[in-house]
A and B are shown apart, each in its own frame.
Chain A
Amino acid sequence: MTRTVLITGAGGVGKTTVAAALGVKAARSGLRTLVVTVDPARRLATALGVEELGNEPQPHSDEPDLWAAMLDASASWRAVATRHAEPEVAMRLADNEFFRAASEHFPASQSYAAADQAATFVQAQAWDLVIVDTPPSGGGIDFFAAPAQMADLVGGRLLRWITGGPLPGRRAFYNLAAKPVLRIADSVLGSDLLERVAEFLLDLRTTYDGVAQRGREIERVLGAASVFVVTTSDPAPVREAIKFYRELPGLAVSPAAVIFNRVLPDSWAEATAPEGTSIALEQNLARWSAETLRQRDTREEFSSRYGAHIATIPWSPTPPTDLDGLGRLLDDASLPWEAVGIDAA
């Protein structure tokens, strides 16, 4: 049975570092572990032993039970078309200007691609633990909503709304040109744009059954995962973290813990400089002590308001980018290890 752990949170808070650290720790405790990441910093990618984009997990050369994969989300929409459409339709889709635009701009597409690939790894049953570093778009919450959104998009929502009825065939669509909606749209957008959009959507719609079925599978896999939310103590990422506690219960399980990164030591909170300290150092302590207090207040409020399990990682000027450093990073974090399947002792 493969356990799944999802690492989510706002961009720039250290999600990938946490995912890598958890991976090293799990591998060293004897679990066959795969870390799946999207767009990591270069130094971290090197530490994980993945240098190139590719959906194929690579075994780590120095760490026996550790694998890593760096997802190429842009290639994945194409994969959706290839997997779920007739070859001829898939080719037409890949060349279609709207398809390219939608895969670049549809906010859920990167998340869907990552969720799809992650679920594939879990279903392969080749690892004890699959750790997924979720893409930062939408603060990560759309990672969970993406399968449904994707099915909705290819389900011909636009066509249903334009026609106000069940999906018409291609011929029926053109006959609708007399409808007032289309007449106005035509005058706004120019002559043939709508027609081209419609052709694209009709092609895309042939993938619907496949995408919808796959979406339900992905949701089942993600729904059984343990979720860790990573944040710093800054207001913006904390606001994102709160979203997971407010919105996630409707989509998957509640987070197992919120991990505060860049935490200052509690001993600084009420510290005062001893006699004889220079003014520069005294002022420096005062400002960092104020920052420590602010951080502590943020954590306490989070814990009391959302009943969250709080874990902490100390603030290090240079987060670890080597295996040993990563392996030690979470030693004192007081994570709920049972959620990962690691024996804490």
Chain B
Amino acid sequence: MLDKRFVLVSGKGGVGKSAVSAGLALLGQRRGLRVLAMEMGSPGGLSSHFGSGPLEFEPQELRPGLHAMQMVRSDALLEYLALQLGVKGITRFGPFARAFDALATTAPGIREIITIGKAIWEVREDRWDVVIADAPPAGQIGSFLRAPLTISELVPSGRIRTQAETMKDMLGDPELTALVLVGLPEELPVTETEETLDWLAKEDVVAPPTVIANRVLDELTDRDTPPGPVGEAAQLHRSLWAEQQVWLERLPPDHTLPYFHGLFTPGEVAARMADELEVIT
């Protein structure tokens, strides 16, 4: 995954998407890559795993070689207007910016293309070897990946259409862009991952994703069940393991990540995640 320039990490909410993103970013940094980690959704998940304060739109260096940023749509829009269209002197809260932001809420594909466009802009920068995006959840990732196509269909001409074509090519290039879908071996996450996989196969906007099952328990080979907490814990573990097997068989993942028992801080989780990802990537 880290040999690509752009890695999007998605999955149903609550499955550990941010932890995997943070782990991949830390692993990239350990390997000496210049990494930009990008929080594309609502703030909080990624920054907590880096143990940093709230992230800003401007990438900040959290440790040598690792930068992180928070996507802010209004900032991305202003940057786009200034850098790509040469429209200067627009303030963030001026009527122009507000009008565009309102348009972005209404017209399909616009708000998504501003976000994904900013990400792709960073991918093209020589500053980074890899951009790792804590992407929108599985339920929304489709509209982001499809945004360039939506724009092409909707807007017959104009500069944004030309740029949409370039973005489409970059997202579709398997040498450049990778999608990682994180899931859990449970009913609803598996069902949702299957739906996302079906959609991706149909739309063909990005190379087939890498599917990672998170919080996978190992098998407890000792079949003994003594009285008290020892036996109770063994029984719970074995039943959870058996239930997980059902869903792992239904949707065999490309990789599995273990359950991290008793880890307290998101920072500890991210570091463990980087260790585990080291083995599989």
Contacts and interface: CB of A to CB of B under 8 A. Distances in A.
Given A41-B187, A287-B262, A188 B160 contact: yes
Interface stretch (A250-258, A270-278, A305-313): A270-278
Interface residues of B, number: 66
Interface stretch (B64-72, B92-100, B166-174, B202-210): B92-100
B158 A239 contact: no
A184 B160 CA distance: 12
Interface centre among A42, A106, A158 (most CB of B within 10 A): A158
Contact of B155 (A43, A106, A190): A190
Given A278-B224, A285-B230, A291-B262, A189 B158 contact: yes
A274 B230 CA distance: 8
A234 interface: yes
Nearest to A180: B96
16 contacts: A10-B14, A12-B186, A41-B187, A184-B85, A184-B96, A190-B158, A190-B161, A232-B14, A237-B14, A239-B45, A239-B48, A280-B222, A284-B237, A285-B230, A289-B229, A315-B236
Given A185-B103, A268-B232, A277-B230, A11 B261 contact: no
A193 interface: yes
Interface stretch (B32-40, B50-58, B105-113): B105-113
A297 B263 CA distance: 12
Interface stretch (B120-128, B239-247, B248-256, B273-281): B239-247
A281 interface: yes
The 10 closest A-B pairs by CB, nearest first: A290-B262, A101-B108, A190-B158, A317-B239, A271-B229, A287-B261, A158-B102, A280-B222, A190-B155, A288-B233
B143 interface: yes
A153 B82 CA distance: 27
A147 B229 CA distance: 49
A264 to B, nearest CB: 8
A153 B16 CA distance: 33
B14 A189 contact: no
Nearest to A295: B262
B220 interface: yes
Nearest to B187: A41
Interface in A277-326: 277-278, 280-282, 284-285, 287-291, 293-294, 297, 315, 317-318
Nearest to A315: B236
Contacts of A158: 99, 102-103, 105-106
Nearest to B191: A41
Contacts of A284: 220, 222, 230, 233-234, 237
Given A101-B108, A317-B240, A193 B155 contact: yes
B107 A101 contact: yes
Given A188-B85, A235-B266, A12 B15 contact: yes
Contact of B156 (A137, A190, A236): A190
B18 interface: yes
B261 A12 contact: no
B219 to A, nearest CB: 10
Contacts of B221: 280
Contacts of B109: 101
A268 B239 CA distance: 17
A201 B155 contact: no
A296 to B, nearest CB: 11
Contacts of B62: none
Contact of A288 (B99, B261, B263): B261
A265 interface: yes
B161 to A, nearest CB: 6
A318 B229 contact: no
Contacts of B222: 278, 280-281, 284
Interface of A: 10-13, 41-43, 97-98, 100-102, 104-106, 136-137, 139, 153, 157-158, 161-162, 164, 181, 184-194, 197, 200-201, 232, 234-237, 239, 264-265, 267-268, 271, 273-274, 277-278, 280-282, 284-285, 287-291, 293-294, 297, 315, 317-318
Contact of A97 (B44, B108, B158, B229): B108
Nearest to B246: A318
A282 B220 CA distance: 11
A162 B99 contact: yes
A281 B234 contact: yes
Interface in B1-50: 12-16, 18, 44-45, 48
B63 interface: no
B189 interface: yes
Contact of A267 (B111, B224, B229, B263): B229
B154 A97 contact: yes
A123 B240 CA distance: 42
Contacts of B108: 97-98, 100-102, 104-105
B87 interface: yes
B159 A268 contact: no
A43 to B, nearest CB: 8
Given A12-B189, A190-B155, A265-B232, A291 B13 contact: no
A317 B158 contact: no
Given A10-B13, A185-B103, A317 B155 contact: no
A293 B226 contact: no
A294 B156 contact: no
A117 to B, nearest CB: 20
A330 B191 CA distance: 27
B237 A235 contact: no
Contacts of A268: 229, 232-233
